[in-house]
Amino acid sequence: MDEDSRIADAAEVPDDSTLLFTVRDGFDEREAILTRTAAGEVTAFENYCQHWTDVRLDKGSGATKRDGELVCGKHGALFEDDSGCCTYGPCEGAVLERIAVTVENGGVYLTDDDYEFVQVGSSMEYDLSSNRSLGF
């Protein structure tokens, strides 16, 4: 596996929250999140709600998870951590944008041809009062 695509140690991926990372899609950078399901599978999604796409699920310190579902802090939508499907809330039935990752030799690797791994954490600056990114 290409070390440039290694996101994190698998042991760093929380089961009760998320690990934020940044990917590049062409010239654009996007935030993504890793989480671990109850079955032990590591999944990754783009870091935005399906209700209002400028709302981040993980604002930098890990998204809230409850009973295997990611919680949007804005209006309370719930997303299954394995499928990304919204089971409750204003965007019920919508699905988080999945990013392909795989676990190998204790590491989590980005395997999605649409993205390049940039870094763990956000590379973007946010105006915390408005929840919007600045300069992008």
User: Residues interacting with ligand FES, by CB under 6 A?
Assistant: 49, 51-52, 55, 72, 74-75, 77, 89-90
- Quote the least distance from Cβ 50 to ligand FES, whole Å: 7
| Pairing status of strand 86-88 against strand 116-120 | unpaired
- Quote the least distance from Cβ 69 to ligand FES, whole Å: 12
- Under a CB-based contact definition with an 8 Å cutoff, are residues 117 and 127 in contact? no
| Beta bridge partners of residue 22, listed in sequence order | 31, 119
Q: Which is nearer to ligand FES, 24 or 51 (CB)?
A: 51
Q: Which is nearer to ligand FES, 52 or 126 (CB)?
A: 52
- Under a CB-based contact definition with an 8 Å cutoff, are residues 94 and 50 in contact? yes
| Tokens encoding 59 | 């604002």
- Quote the least distance from Cβ 83 to ligand FES, whole Å: 17
Q: Which is nearer to ligand FES, 34 or 72 (CB)?
A: 72
- Quote the least distance from Cβ 96 to ligand FES, whole Å: 11
Q: Which is nearer to ligand FES, 34 or 78 (CB)?
A: 78
CB under 8 Å to 12, separation ≥6 — which residues?
19
- Under a CB-based contact definition with an 8 Å cutoff, are residues 10 and 103 in contact? yes
